[in-house]
Structure formats: structure tokens, C-alpha cells
Amino acid sequence: MDFRNHVIIAIGVTAGLIASLLRFSLLDTLVGLMVACLILKSGLELAYELIRSMGEEEVDVSHYHFTITKHYDRFPQINLRNWMLFLIDKNNILNLLN
């Protein structure tokens, strides 16, 4: 959520800068309000999760994962597979040489 907020702020700052260069100050104000609302929403979601975690309930963190985490979780499996295939290939080459 923190990463998402940083991205939203960066986009908002860029949009505000472009709006001020174009002398369109209303757009800068609207972008600022939207960014503030999104950050407030994220803060409320985190507070809600914190309150739930203080009880006996299990906290659902599945919606905080990014797509890259799926690839990262599979990374050890892919490395193991590649290493095994390498060993099989290496053994076949050694058997052909003998």
C-alpha cells in the first residue's frame, strides 16, 4: 500500500506540475484532493486491518500482494528445475564421452 501511495503521489505531482505550467490551477487542486482522498482511504484500510488484527481474527493480506511476488515465489522452483536439467544434461554428456 505504501508503494502504491508513492506512485499515486508521484503521478499527482507530475499532473500538478503540468497543470501549473499550463496555468490551469483548478486541475492542480483537483489532483491534490484526489491524492489526499486516496491516501486517507489507504490509511483507513490499514487502521481497519490493525483493529482486526488486535482481535482473534486472521488478517487477510492477500490483496496487498503485487504481481511480481508471484514470480518471486516461483523463483526457487525455477532455479531448482534449471539446476536439475543442467545436471541431467551434464551427466548425459559425460556418459557420451565415456
Q: Are 2 and 41 found together in one domain?
A: yes
Q: Are 49 and 73 found together in one domain?
A: no
Q: In the chain, which stretches have pLDDT less than 70?
A: 1-2, 56-71, 93-98
Structure confidence at residue 65 (pLDDT): 60
Provide the residue range defining the domain that includes 18. Answer: 1-59
Domain count, the chain: 2
The Cα–Cα gap between 29 and 69 comes to 35
Of the CA atoms within 13 Å of residue 79, those in its CB half-sphere come to 6
Q: Are 3 and 50 found together in one domain?
A: yes
Structure confidence at residue 30 (pLDDT): 83
- The phi, psi pair for 87, rounded to 5°, reads -65, -40
Q: Are 53 and 79 found together in one domain?
A: no
Q: Are 42 and 90 found together in one domain?
A: no
Q: Are 46 and 77 found together in one domain?
A: no
The Cα–Cα gap between 53 and 27 comes to 39
Given the C-alpha cell 539446476, which residue does it identify?
83
**What digits encode the pLDDT tens for the residues 12-40?**
888 888 888 888 878 878 888 888 888 88
Structure confidence at residue 93 (pLDDT): 66
CB-CB contact of 38 with 7 (8 Å): no
Structure confidence at residue 32 (pLDDT): 80
Q: Are 48 and 82 found together in one domain?
A: no
Structure confidence at residue 43 (pLDDT): 83
